[in-house]
Amino acid sequence: MAASPTPEPPLPGRTFLPHLASAPFPHASRANGHEYDGKHYSAAVNYSDSTVGIYVPTHFRPGTSTDVVVHFHGWNNHVTEVFRRYELREQLEESGRNAILVVPQGPKDAPDSGDGKLELDPNGFARFVADVMRFLRDQGVIANEEIGAIVLSSHSGGYGGLGGVLTRGGLNAHVTDVILVDSAYGYFDAIADWALSAPGNHLVSVFTDDTSLGNTELMARLQGKKPYQVLDADVMSLAQLQTREASFAFTTTVAHDELLQQYHWYALFLRSTSLPGW
């Protein structure tokens, strides 16, 4: 008889999967579902899940306010698979940042960049983060609901949620860092305007040929207004990213769907943010 596979050891932190009313869906923008490439994605199956993935790392220390990393996933995915495939929780642990990871469920297993309440509703993001803070307080993770620094990241088609948050989410004053992972498909003005709105705002974009044109668009909007650097992603260093210049890192060796996890670049990017360590 073949031996059973050895189960993976559980993560030492705490994972929560609550349903929050302020999550992206359900939303009127997808009340009739969505059509893509001749296929219908229904409201009931693909746009009704209000799950929010939350990970509190092992050594998290609550303070007078709470810093969060909010990640917007790409097409054809769901929260638990995003956690598993891209090793986001493991990489937050590896980064040593004293922050809580939040992954709202976007279009569930659908090819769509729309992000419902978080993309389209004025102050929708502010309501969402307030709900997350309330949940964490109720769980005894934090003592109050004061919002600290916010890091936004998106992979691939997750740009819709991130761009909408920067356009009308209501919390831009808290956003210190934006991380694009082959995700420069749109919202160029919103991203550039945020980057230019405060000297310390830190933009990192790692990309393949898939979004080379989009990254060129972003560079053009920063040209002459904010320093930026273009790096070889395969040899980029933490010291380069910590300059707080806008950083565009190009790779020809890592595939689009491997960028987050193959070399644990997400952990590296988190280490370059303004978030404090443990």
Is there a domain that residue 246 lies in?
Answer: yes
Contacts of residue 197, Cβ cutoff 8 Å, sequence gap at least 6: 172
Is there a domain that residue 235 lies in?
Answer: yes
Is there a domain that residue 5 lies in?
Answer: no
The count of domains in the chain is 1
Q: What is the pLDDT, as a whole number, of residue 12?
A: 80
Is there a domain that residue 72 lies in?
Answer: yes
Domain extent at residue 175: 14-271
Q: Helix or strand or coil: residue 203?
A: strand
User: Which parts of the chain are beta strand (E)?
Assistant: 14-16, 34-36, 39-41, 52-56, 66-72, 100-104, 147-155, 175-181, 202-207, 228-232, 246-250
Is there a domain that residue 277 lies in?
Answer: no
Q: What is the pLDDT, as a whole number, of residue 106?
A: 98
Going from the C-alpha of 205 to that of each of 94, 163, 189, 245, 276, the distances in angstroms are 20, 14, 15, 11, 21
Q: What is the CATH number of the domain that holds 266?
A: 3.40.50.1820
Residue 32 near residue 79 (C-beta atoms within 8 A) = no
Residue 175 near residue 205 (C-beta atoms within 8 A) = no
Is there a domain that residue 208 lies in?
Answer: yes
Is there a domain that residue 3 lies in?
Answer: no
Q: Which of 212, 217, 278, 272 is nearest to 245 (CA)?
A: 272
Beta-bridged to residue 203, according to DSSP, are: 178
Which ranges of the chain have pLDDT less than 50?
Answer: 1-7
Looking at residue 250, the DSSP 8-state letter turns out to be E
CA distance 139 to 200: 33
- For Cα atoms 219, 224, 229, give the angle at the middle one, nearest 5 degrees: 50
Looking at residue 51, the DSSP 8-state letter turns out to be B
The whole-model pTM stands at 0.96
Q: What is the pLDDT, as a whole number, of residue 11?
A: 75
Condensed to tens digits (0 to 9), the pLDDT of residues 204-255 reads: 999 999 999 999 999 999 999 999 999 999 999 999 999 999 999 999 999 9
Q: What is the pLDDT, as a whole number, of residue 1?
A: 43
Contacts of residue 189, Cβ cutoff 8 Å, sequence gap at least 6: 221
CA distance 3 to 21: 44
Residue 275 near residue 98 (C-beta atoms within 8 A) = yes
Is there a domain that residue 66 lies in?
Answer: yes
